[in-house]
Chains A and B, each alone.
Chain A
Amino acid sequence: MSTADTLQGFKRDGRVVIVGASLAGLRAAEALRDEGFTGKLTMIGDELGEPYDRPPLSKQVLTGWVPADGTTLPRRRDIDAEWLLGVPADGLDLANNHVRLADGRTVPFDRMLISTGVRARPWPVEAEAALDGVFVVRTREDAAGLQRAVAAGPSRVLIIGAGFTGSEIASVCRERDIPVTVAELAPSPLVGGLGAMIGEIAADMQRAHGVDLRCGVKVTQLEGDAQGRVRRAHFSDGSTVDADVVVVALGGIRNTEWLRDSGLAVGVWGVACDAGCRAFDLNGLVTDDIFVAGDVARSPNPMYEYRFISLEHWANAVEQAEIAAHNMVSTQANRWPHLSIPTFWSIQFGVNIKSVGVPTYADEVVVTQGSVADHRFVAAYGYQGRVTAAVSFNNAKWLDHYRQLIERAAPFPPPCPTPDQPLDAKPVPVDFPGPTLLAQGATVVVTGHDPGERRVTAMRQHR
């Protein structure tokens, strides 16, 4: 589809298939129509019903304010699509350009978008995961079940995993005065995303709100009663906790299994694509007709040395979907790169936590303004002497300032922009547990992480 004429023809009456009908899929569909695509558009999704928003599921839905089926995403425009819902795609045939559905149907396309996102990582022991009262939270059905269980006034809720979702759920339960135990294998909550210093602040916050926080321990077994209801959890240090609701918040698994034999570069960190959202194949060649967006995408960011970054951020799904849609209907010269600096938010224990940049891409962190004790501060992250990220606790209005520092690769540590310079503004090692996210699980064999490096040395290594 190289010439402008064929592109015009494709825009007029080509066929686009979007697999994964959630936030990224819907926003891409809307953007395609905005861009003037008038051909056939098919939305394939394994969930029933219209696309809905997930962040409220661990917040407003859990408090009972918004019903679980009340987060259907608003539409920006009519997308005039054929919806194939309730059936997963289970294969992609790149030789014949069609998607295979689990019920045997095939759906042909000229161009497609992969936006199959992430699913909740289940409790590893199936029989224990199946006990009544054990939940994960990814879908609205999950949230409806957990909301009912929490509303019933359980004697104790055990949350396994103190990442963002687990911490938000703990916060809602404490607001409702329900006894909560949080179990985290790492030394503190949020440490995987934000490092040890912020982790300790998060731990203090949880304890101040009455959470029974247990770090550095592993839940080894969930025990049920004769009726198949969960009642107790056993820990690696020999202790136990009695709980009638258990929330497994161990992060997500990217939905890439259906692409296993497709020849695309897929793995545990998602589907690799270029900065223009075009998928790579196993040889590191960029495909022309297959695009990727949202939580399932793994793409290089020039601001972070072209490393392949996988994000589970709402705003990233929206932006990447719009770029993918634009590039689907544009000539090479008119394509856009997805160059944005990642942003994320979380609301817990009355604190608005926001981040800009990639906090895991850092070796040092420093509180640059505000007061940690008041839970109103900004911390900047640096890598090899330049600012790479910032996190704010109840100080979001400053993040734009830090975004500009990141864009300019400003020196780290940055000066405090206000008179409230914290007393102990000394950078400390960022200290993530284990290797940082970015360094793990390289699944793209040929392209490597760093084109700069590849030109000089890594090419030779790869031969």
Chain B
Amino acid sequence: MRVVVDLSRCQGYAQCAFLAPDAFRMHGEEALMYSSNPDDAQRHQVLRAAAACPLQAILVDQLEGRDAPVGTSPS
């Protein structure tokens, strides 16, 4: 699954790292490192983390798979 965290909003309170430790980790005292594509098996945890983030800084894909672009190569 696809995840992005708006780190300019994130304040490093680590709720996400507590709820989904495989996808969100603290690096040093307050820097958040996260996986941009956690395993689908973690979906439930990641969604809970996103819901719990007090800054609503975690964005999870709303489509997953739909609307993939149709690329055209240089002809």
Kindly identify, within residues 63 to 118 of chain A, every residue whose CB is under 8 Å from any CB belonging to chain B. Answer: 65-67, 70-87, 102-103
Contact A79 B67 (CB under 8 A): yes
Contact B71 A354 (CB under 8 A): no
User: Which residues of chain B are near A74, meaning CB under 8 Å?
Assistant: 2-4, 59-62
Number of A interface residues at 8 Å Cβ cutoff, please give it.
51
Taking the closest CB of chain A, its distance from the CB of B10, in whole angstroms, is 8
Known contacts A85-B71, A314-B8, A345-B8: does B29 contact A60 (CB below 8 Å)?
no
Number of B interface residues at 8 Å Cβ cutoff, please give it.
36
Taking the closest CB of chain B, its distance from the CB of A356, in whole angstroms, is 9
A397 CA / B28 CA spacing, docked (Å): 15
Taking the closest CB of chain B, its distance from the CB of A358, in whole angstroms, is 14
Taking the closest CB of chain A, its distance from the CB of B26, in whole angstroms, is 10
A50, CB-defined interface residue at 8 Å: yes
User: Which residues of chain B are near A103, meaning CB under 8 Å?
Assistant: 74-75
User: Which residues of chain A are near B12, meaning CB under 8 Å?
Assistant: 352, 396-397
A83 CA / B28 CA spacing, docked (Å): 40
Which of chain A's residues has its CB closest to B61's CB? A74
Task: Mark each residue of chain A from 39 to 81: 1 if its CB lies under 8 Å from any CB of chain B, else 0.
Answer: 0000100001110010110011000011100111111111111
Contact A83 B69 (CB under 8 A): yes
Task: Mark each residue of chain A from 305 to 347: 1 if its CB lies under 8 Å from any CB of chain B, else 0.
Answer: 0000000011100100000000000000000000000011101
A408 CA / B71 CA spacing, docked (Å): 48
Kindly identify, within residues 20 to 75 of chain B, every residue whose CB is under 8 Å from any CB belonging to chain A. Answer: 27-37, 59-63, 66-75
Contact partner, B33, options A75, A80, A347, A395, Cβ 8 Å: A347
Contact A75 B36 (CB under 8 A): no
Interface majority SS on B: helix, strand, loop or mixed? Answer: loop
Contact A71 B71 (CB under 8 A): no
Which of chain B's residues has its CB closest to A50's CB? B69
Contact B72 A86 (CB under 8 A): yes
Taking the closest CB of chain A, its distance from the CB of B55, in whole angstroms, is 10
Contact A71 B63 (CB under 8 A): no
Which of chain B's residues has its CB closest to A81's CB? B69
Contact A352 B30 (CB under 8 A): yes
User: Which residues of chain A are near B8, meaning CB under 8 Å?
Assistant: 313-315, 343-345, 354
Contact A394 B6 (CB under 8 A): no
A376, CB-defined interface residue at 8 Å: yes
A127, CB-defined interface residue at 8 Å: no
Known contacts A72-B37, A75-B63: does B71 contact A394 (CB below 8 Å)?
no
Taking the closest CB of chain A, its distance from the CB of B5, in whole angstroms, is 10
Among the interface residues A67, A318, A343, A347, which one has the most CB atoms of the partner chain B within 10 A?
A347
A351, CB-defined interface residue at 8 Å: yes
Contact B36 A56 (CB under 8 A): yes
A417, CB-defined interface residue at 8 Å: no
User: Which residues of chain B are near A65, meaning CB under 8 Å?
Assistant: 33, 35
Task: Mark each residue of chain B from 1 to 21: 1 if its CB lies under 8 Å from any CB of chain A, else 0.
Answer: 011101111111000000000
Contact A86 B37 (CB under 8 A): no
User: Which residues of chain B are near A70, meaning CB under 8 Å?
Assistant: 35-37
Contact B2 A73 (CB under 8 A): yes
Taking the closest CB of chain A, its distance from the CB of B59, in whole angstroms, is 5
User: Which residues of chain B are near A50, meaning CB under 8 Å?
Assistant: 68-69
A9, CB-defined interface residue at 8 Å: no
Which of chain B's residues has its CB closest to A61's CB? B36
User: Which residues of chain B are near A395, meaning CB under 8 Å?
Assistant: 30
Contact B4 A83 (CB under 8 A): no
User: Which residues of chain A are near B60, meaning CB under 8 Å?
Assistant: 74
A350, CB-defined interface residue at 8 Å: yes
Contact partner, B27, options A67, A72, A347, Cβ 8 Å: A347
Contact A80 B67 (CB under 8 A): yes
User: Which residues of chain A are near B9, meaning CB under 8 Å?
Assistant: 315
Contact partner, B37, options A66, A76, A81, A314, Cβ 8 Å: A66
Known contacts A76-B62, A352-B12: does B33 contact A394 (CB below 8 Å)?
no
Contact A396 B11 (CB under 8 A): yes
Which of chain B's residues has its CB closest to A86's CB? B73
Taking the closest CB of chain B, its distance from the CB of A95, in whole angstroms, is 26
Task: Mark each residue of chain A from 365 to 378: 1 if its CB lies under 8 Å from any CB of chain B, else 0.
Answer: 00000000000100
Partner-B contacts on A (CB < 8 A): 21, 43, 48-50, 53, 55-56, 59-60, 65-67, 70-87, 102-103, 313-315, 318, 343-345, 347, 349-352, 354, 376, 394-397
Besides A82-B70, A395-B30, 17 more A-B contacts (Cβ < 8 Å) are A53-B36, A55-B7, A74-B62, A80-B67, A81-B69, A85-B71, A85-B72, A86-B71, A103-B74, A313-B8, A314-B6, A315-B9, A347-B31, A351-B29, A376-B29, A396-B30, A397-B12
A-B contact pairs, 7 of them (CB 8 A): A70-B35, A71-B37, A86-B72, A314-B8, A315-B6, A351-B29, A352-B12
Task: Name the 5 nearest CB pairs between A and B, nearest first.
Answer: A350-B28, A83-B69, A352-B31, A74-B61, A70-B37
